[in-house]
């Protein structure tokens, strides 16, 4: 076996290998001999199956196993030649050539390794920011929202039209192409008009109705609607308004309402409620500040400052992901071209290369920052997060977890959680980067 390695940079090695057919044959025979010791074949005692019989029956499978073993041998030798360790390998080697010739097997591949990332001085790149200030009007608005949510619905006795902000109690039945469809009918349904819970145009189509009146509301299901047989189709809903309801928000908060809002407090007070609301608003504003301003600014700065070689295979994976994510946005003509023209795909993929390289570089920087700052997320925390996501969407948590596990998504979820925790800690006022208060 002849193996030549070429160091492309500090983390990528190009490997060229030539393996004689005699070596491949010897590897196949070795695997056949090993298999014969445990294989059961009719007419032979277990462990006494002739190697020739094993070869005759399973030559194709054994050849495949032998080739995989040869690839592992090539990678191991390339690692040694590069002065690296097996643990330094990242991702799967990218095989660009695997030619079976008359006298040899010719292989070309690129083996990539984890980069060494030095983030010294990153603290200087953390942007200064003003801690969001919570004003009295912010607290009052949130408190009124809470009171509105807690207030009971009351029937409107006045003879008036349905308006945005009202709650409509009504019967409805939906039709597509003149035919009623499953799940499109309900009686005594209550809906807040203007909440956007129904198909776009449905709630607007009910505005102006009076109790007892009927109306045909014409809508179109969104193209991305969950039920594929309804997506993008026009529909008519026959509705009958039964009752108009509205919430009567009390001017003052009584003890019963306070206990309902803060069930775990022994002595809930309006002052305590306002303090809790203030903390919640502050956290929301800090989260938005981090997501929309601080994180992008910091990410751009560190990618610009810290330069290091990045694994080619990881960059290609990132390009593939960006290309797949963009697929739905391509025109039918573009999709047809990409299916038929490989060169067009290569050219289009290259458009994502620069962004992919930045994304991969940022991922390694974040990973190193998490190590430096000792930011960790346990596997149990990942499971809890997946379960919580399932509960919110009404899914079975165990099935949801298994779906992510089967798709290989759990490492990415964990990395995302580490990133969120890292930035929350980094931009926390305890880092003393919030030097001034700013009224919003």
* 115 HSE (CA, 13 A, CB side): 25
Query: Residue 372 is encoded by which pair of tokens?
Result: 């430096």
What is the domain range of residue 202?
Answer: 152-247
Whether residue 295 sits in one domain with residue 218: no
Same domain, 299 and 431: yes
Residue 431 has pLDDT above 60, yes or no: no
Instruction: Write out the DSSP string of 199-231.
Output: STTHHHHHTT--TT-EEEEEEE--TT-SSTTTT
CATH number of the CATH domain containing 339: 1.10.3120.10
* The domain boundary residue, chosen from 56, 88, 112: 112
Whether 363 shows a pLDDT value over 60: the answer reads yes
The rounded mean pLDDT for the chain is: 88
- How many angstroms separate the Cα of 313 from the Cα of each of 86, 97, 255, 259? 16, 15, 62, 57
Does residue 117 lie within any of the structural domains? no
What's the pLDDT at 56? 83
**CATH no. for residue 159?**
3.10.50.40
Q: Is 222 in the same domain as 332?
A: no
Same domain, 363 and 397: yes
**Cα(41)–Cα(16) distance, rounded to whole angstroms?**
40
Same domain, 275 and 243: no
Which of 184, 212, 247 is a domain's end point? 247
Domain-located, residue 255: no
In this predicted structure, the answer to whether residue 148 has a pLDDT above a threshold of 80 is no
Q: Which residues pair with 234 in a beta bridge?
A: 220
Question: What integer is the mean pLDDT of 198-226?
Answer: 92
What pLDDT score does 426 carry? 87
Q: What is the C-alpha to C-alpha distance for residues 400 and 415, in angstroms, rounded to an integer?
A: 18
292 and 428 housed in the same domain: yes
**What pLDDT is attached to residue 429?**
52
Total-model pTM: 0.68
Of 175-189, 388-402, 421-435, the one with minimum mean pLDDT is: 421-435
Q: Does 237 lie in the same domain as 101?
A: no
pLDDT, tens only, 91-128: 889 999 999 988 899 999 999 999 999 999 999 999 88
Confidence (pLDDT) at 140 = 86
Q: How many structural domains is the chain composed of? A: 3
Q: Is the pLDDT of residue 390 over 50?
A: yes
pLDDT for residue 123 = 92
> Is 289 in the same domain as 179?
no
* pLDDT at residue number 440: 43
Q: Are residues 308 and 433 in the same domain?
A: yes
pLDDT of residue 16: 93
132 inside domain: no
């Amino acid at each position: 076996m002849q193996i030549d390695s070429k160091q492309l940079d500090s983390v990528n090695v190009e490997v060229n290998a030539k393996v004689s057919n005699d070596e491949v044959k010897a590897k196949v025979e070795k695997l056949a001999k090993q298999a014969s010791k445990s294989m059961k074949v009719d007419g032979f005692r277990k462990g006494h199956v002739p190697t020739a019989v094993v070869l005759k029956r399973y030559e194709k499978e054994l050849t495949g196993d032998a080739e995989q073993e040869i690839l592992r041998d090539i990678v191991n030798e390339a690692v040694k030649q590069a002065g690296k360790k097996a643990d330094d390998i990242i991702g799967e080697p990218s095989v660009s050539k695997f030619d079976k010739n008359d006298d040899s097997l010719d292989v070309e591949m690129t083996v990539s390794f984890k980069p060494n990332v030095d983030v010294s001085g990153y603290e200087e790149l953390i942007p200064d920011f003003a801690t969001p200030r919570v004003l009295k009007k912010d607290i009052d608005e949130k408190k009124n929202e809470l009171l509105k949510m807690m207030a009971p619905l009351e029937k409107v006795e006045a003879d008036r039209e349905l308006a945005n902000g009202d709650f409509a109690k009504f019967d409805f039945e939906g039709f597509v192409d003149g035919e009623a469809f499953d799940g499109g009918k309900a009686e005594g349904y209550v809906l807040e008009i203007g909440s956007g819970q129904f198909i776009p145009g449905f709630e607007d189509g009910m505005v102006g109705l009076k109790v007892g009146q009927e109306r045909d509301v014409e809508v179109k299901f969104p193209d991305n609607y969950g039920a594929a047989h309804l997506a993008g189709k026009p529909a008519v809903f026959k509705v009958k308004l039964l009752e108009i309801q509205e919430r009567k928000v009390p001017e003052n908060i009584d003890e019963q309402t306070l206990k309902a809002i803060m069930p775990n407090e022994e002595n809930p007070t309006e002052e305590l409620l306002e303090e809790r609301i203030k903390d919640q608003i502050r956290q929301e504003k800090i989260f938005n500040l981090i997501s929309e301003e601080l994180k992008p600014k910091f990410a751009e700065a560190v990618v610009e400052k810290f330069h290091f070689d990045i694994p080619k295979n990881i960059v290609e994976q990132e390009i593939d992901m960006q290309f797949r994510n963009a697929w739905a946005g391509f025109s039918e003509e573009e999709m047809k071209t990409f299916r038929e023209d490989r060169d067009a795909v290569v050219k289009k993929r290259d458009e994502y290369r620069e962004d992919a390289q930045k994304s991969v570089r940022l991922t390694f920087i974040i990973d190193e920052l998490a190590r430096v700052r000792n930011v960790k997320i346990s596997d149990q925390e990942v499971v809890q997060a997946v379960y919580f996501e399932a509960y919110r969407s009404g899914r079975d948590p165990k099935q949801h977890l298994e779906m992510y596990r089967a798709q290989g998504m759990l490492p990415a979820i964990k990395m995302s959680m580490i990133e969120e925790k890292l930035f929350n800690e980094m931009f926390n006022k305890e880092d003393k980067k919030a030097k001034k208060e700013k009224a919003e």
